Amino acid sequence: MKTFSIGILLLAPLIAAGAVSRNGAAAGTAGETHATAFRTASSAADQFPRQSRGGFYGAEGDEDETYSFYFSRAAYGSGGRFGRSAWATDYPDADVWITNVLRRLTGVDVAPYDHVVRLDDPKLRRFPFLYAVEVGSMGLAPAEVQGLREYLLAGGFLMVDDFWGAGQWENFEWEIGQVLPEYPIVEIPLDHEIFSSYYAIREVIQVPNVNNGIAVGMGAPGARTEECPGCSPHIFGILDDKDRLLVIINWNSDLGDAWEHAENQRYPLMYSTYAYQVAANFIIYAMTH
């Protein structure tokens, strides 16, 4: 409870001021230079239309500035759900929220805007932190498998979020098995360093999507946090042979929605606070381990 109240205190001014974010990513296939790679999102952003722009505000980040950290969203091939690209779920709102809140909560010099990169893009290797969602419908092309594999083995870090139930798990397990066949997926215990790298995370909470969260918050009858019957939250990981985490997997939980809807008064703040805390820990860990 204590950590939550700290989180609320930290988030409150941000929410009160109204979160500001840049309006999407710049387009175009950038040249190979370093700077353009940092500043320009991959063509993926255009290839896959954005899911939503509603409720967002103008840009704050300076595109000419170079930052130490880019919250890079993985654009991958997939069958898609409801006619949309799965990778772009909650994009770019969740991304803009997490980047701006991270700037407030931590000393990380985060680029305060969204940033998308394709798995088969060589520029992927310039962004050692990668966020992927809805991996339950992920379907990687061979070039993407190779791109992600080399990325992770070279030192990249993948955070997986927002996929639910055994079916989606199986899909993801199969896909990631293509990428890193030599390393098994294991449950990450709460005494792992990743849970104390910034905040002290004492439990794994199931973070509901926005609708379930609001329902639970309002005490609606039959309201529940899970998206699939009886599924409980777990944090899994893939470790290399030196016990370094390459992939952190947030299963049966939706951190992205909690970031995105942090300012929604009907969405319980405790989920957003937890989601930001977990993200801060994952990112600090990825930058130091």
Partner 1 sequence: MALGIWQFFLKYPPLVYEKGRIVFLSPLPGWLLLAAVVVAVVAGISYFRRGATLPLPDRLGLIALRGGLLALLLVLLLRPTLQVPVAVPQENYLGILVDDSRSMMVADGSATSRGDEILSTLNTELLAKLSEHFRLRIFRFSGDATRIETVGDLTFNGGETRIGRALDQARNELAGVPIAGLVVVSDGADQSEAELNETLISLRTSSVPVYTVGVGREAFARDVEIRRVSSPRSVLKGTSTMVDIVVAQTGYAGKTVPLIVEDQGRVVSSQDVVLPADGTPATVRVNFTAEEAGWRRFRFRVPLQDGELVTANNDRNALIEVREGRQKILYFEGEPRFEVKFLRRAVDEDEELQLVVLQRTAENKFLRLAVDDSEELADGFPITREELFQYRALVIGSVEASFFSREQMRMIVEFVNERGGSVLFLGGKRAFSEGGYAGTPLADLMPVELNERGDPGYYRELKVAPTRAGLTSAALQLDPDPAVSASIWAGLPELSTFNQLTRLKPGATALLTGSGPSVPEGQIVLASQRFGRGLALALPVQDTWIWQMHSSIPLEDQTHETFWRQIMRWMVNEVPDQMTLTTSAEPAALNQTVQISADLRDKGFQRINDALVSALIESADGTTNELPLRWTNRRDGEYEGAFVPLASGLHQIRVQAVRGDSTVASALLTLDAVEDNGEFFNAQMRSPLLRRIADETGGRFYTLSDINRLPEEVDFSGSGITRVESYDLWDMPLVFLLIIMLVGGEWGLRRLRGLP
Residue ranges binding partner 1 (CB under 8 A): 33-35, 66, 68-69, 105-109, 122-126, 128, 150, 153-156, 197-198, 242, 244, 283-284, 286-289
Nearer to partner 1, 154 or 228 (CB): 154
Strand pairing report for 157-163 and 129-133? parallel
- Among 105, 111, 98, 136, residue whose Cα is nearest residue 261: 98
If the CB atoms of residues 49 and 182 are measured against partner 1, the closer one turns out to be: 182
Instruction: Give the shortest CB-12-to-partner 1 separation in angstroms.
Output: 17
Cβ-based nearer residue to partner 1, 181 or 229: 181
Report the nearest approach of partner 1 to the CB of residue 26 (Å): 18
Question: Of 6 and 26, which CB lies nearer to partner 1 in the complex structure?
Answer: 6
Q: Is the dihedral of CA 116, 120, 123, 128 positive or negative?
A: positive
| CA–CA gap between residue 134 and residue 162 (Å, rounded) | 5
Compare residues 91 and 282 and give the one whose CB is closer to partner 1.
282
Cβ closest to partner 1, residue 65 vs residue 187: 65
Helix crossing, 93-105 with 269-288: angle to 10°?
Answer: 70
Shortest Å, Cβ 39 to partner 1: 11
Q: Measure the CA–CA gap between 261 and 35, rounded to whole angstroms.
A: 32
Write down the least CB distance from residue 226 to partner 1, Å: 32
What does each C-alpha distance from 168 to 34, 79, 175 come to in angstroms? 36, 13, 11
Under 8 Å between Cβ of 266 and 91: no
CB of 107 to partner 1, least distance (A): 4
Instruction: Give the nearest distance from C-beta 69 to partner 1 in angstroms.
Output: 7
Minimum CB distance to partner 1, residue 47 (Å): 20
Closest CA to 118 of 107, 109, 126: 126
Report the C-alpha gap between 146 and 218 in whole angstroms: 46
Q: What is residue 132's three-state secondary structure? A: strand
Output 70 or 251, the one with its CB closest to partner 1: 70
